[in-house]
Homo-oligomer: A and B are copies of this chain.
Amino acid sequence: MSKGLLCLILSTTLLSAQYKDMELNWKSIADFNVFGSLNTFEDGKIRRFPDSLQQKLRVPLWKLSENTAGFYLKLKTNAPFIKVQYRPLGELSFPHMPATGVSGVDLYVKTKDGFNWVRGNYNFSQTVSYSFSNMELSEGKHEFWLYLPLFQSIADFKVGIPKDYSFEPIVESSNLDPIIVYGTSIAQGACASRAGMAWSNILGRKTPYPVVNMGFSGNGRLEPTVIDYISKVKASVFVLDCMANFTSGQNMNPNLAHERLKASITFLKRRHPETPILIVQHAGYADGAIQKHRLVTYSVLNKVTQAVYLELKSTYDGLYILTKDQIGLTSESFVDGTHPNDHGMIQYAKAYKEALDQILR
Residues of A in contact with B (beta carbons under 8 Å apart): 1, 5, 8-9, 12-13, 15, 93-101, 109, 111, 113, 116-119, 122, 124, 134-137, 191, 193-194, 197, 202, 248, 254-255, 258, 285-287, 289-294, 296-297, 299-300, 303-304, 331-332, 334-338, 341-343, 346
Contacts and interface: CB of A to CB of B under 8 A. Distances in A.
A15 B293 CA distance: 9
Contact of A332 (B93, B136, B197, B296): B197
B300 A193 contact: no
Given A9-B296, A93-B98, A335-B193, A287 B116 contact: yes
Given A95-B122, A254-B1, A337 B117 contact: yes
Contacts of A194: 335-336
B287 A119 contact: yes
A8 B254 CA distance: 14
Contacts of A346: 332, 343
A289 B331 CA distance: 33
The CB with the most chain B CB atoms within 10 A, among A97, A119, A255, A303, is that of A119
B117 A331 contact: yes
Contact of A300 (B1, B116, B248): B1
Given A9-B297, A122-B95, A336-B100, A331 B290 contact: no
A177 to B, nearest CB: 27
A1 B299 CA distance: 11
Nearest to A255: B1
Among A111, A118, A255, which residue has the most Cβ atoms of chain B within 10 A?
A118
Given A119-B291, A136-B292, A342-B342, 18 more contacts: A5-B303, A12-B293, A12-B296, A13-B248, A95-B98, A96-B98, A96-B193, A111-B289, A116-B331, A117-B337, A119-B285, A119-B287, A119-B290, A119-B336, A193-B341, A193-B342, A197-B332, A343-B346
Nearest to A132: B290
Contacts of A119: 285-287, 290-291, 294, 336-338
A99 B96 contact: yes
Q: State the oligomeric state as a number of copies.
A: 2
Contacts of A255: 1
12 contacts: A1-B255, A8-B292, A12-B292, A12-B296, A96-B99, A98-B335, A117-B286, A117-B287, A119-B337, A135-B291, A193-B342, A343-B346
B193 A287 contact: no
A123 to B, nearest CB: 8
Given A8-B296, A285-B119, A136 B96 contact: no
A134 B293 contact: yes
A5 B258 CA distance: 15
Contacts of A289: 111, 113, 116
A119 to B, nearest CB: 4
Contacts of A193: 96, 191, 193, 335, 341-342
Smallest CB-CB A-B distances: 3 pairs: A12-B293, A119-B337, A341-B342
B100 A124 contact: no
